[in-house]
Amino acid sequence: MDSNSGKWQEYMDAGNEAFEKRRLAEVERLYGEAIKEAVKFADDDPRLAYTYNNYAALCHSQGKYAFAENYYQKALAINEKNCGSDSLEVAQNLHNLAIVYSAKLRYDEAELLYQRSLAIKEKHLGPEHKDLVSNLKNYARLLKGMKRDEEAQLLEGRATAIASLS
C-alpha cells in the first residue's frame, strides 16, 4: 500500500467513525483531507468515488444540497465508468442523487433516478430483497410529494411486505 492510500484510508476510517457519532465538523475536516489524498489517485479510482459519495452524504445531512449533488454526480460518473451503468454501485449513487433531487423539489428528475436505481437493484438482487426497502420508501415519499398517493401506497405496501420477510 502506498503512503497516499494509507493516509486516505486513515482519514476515511476516522471520518466514518466521526459520522456515526454525528461529530460533523470533525467529519468535514477528515473527509476533506481524504479528498486531498484521493485526488492523487487516478481520476477513475473507486476510492475517489467512495470518498466523493461519503462527502456528499455529509453535505446532504447538513442541507448543503448543491454540494451533495455535485459530489454524488462525481461519484456516479466514476462508478459508471468503472462498474458499468447497471451496477449496484451505480444504483446506490442514483438513489442518493434522487434523494437530493427530491429535497431540491426536482421531482421529475428524482423519479427517473429512483426508477433506474430500483430497476438495477431488482435485476441484481431480485424483487423481494431487503435492500430494496429504502428505495421503495424514498420513492413513495417522492410520489406523495407529487400528490400521487395511490402509487405511493403501492410502493409502501411492497416495502412493508419485503421488510416482513426479513
Ranking 40-44, 62-66, 126-130, 159-163 by mean pLDDT, the lowest is: 40-44
Tens of pLDDT, residue by residue over 103-127, are 999 999 999 999 999 999 999 999 9
Domains of the chain from N-terminus onward = 42-165 (1.25.40.10)
Grid cell for residue 116: 433506474
Q: Among 94, 165, 75, which residue's Cα sits nearest to residue 126?
A: 165
Residues 6+ apart with CB under 8 A from 149: 143
Tens of pLDDT, residue by residue over 65-115, are 999 999 999 999 999 999 999 999 999 999 999 999 999 999 999 999 999
User: Within its chain, how far is the Cα of 112 from the centroid?
Assistant: 15
Residue 2 confidence (pLDDT) above 70: no
Mean pLDDT of the chain: 95
Per-residue confidence (pLDDT) for residue 5, from 0 to 100: 81
* pLDDT band for position 44 (cuts 50, 70, 90): confident
Tens of pLDDT, residue by residue over 16-35, are 999 999 999 999 999 999 99
Q: CA-CA-CA-CA torsion for 103, 20, 163, 104, nearest 10 degrees?
A: 0
Mean pLDDT of 141-164: 97
pTM: 0.90
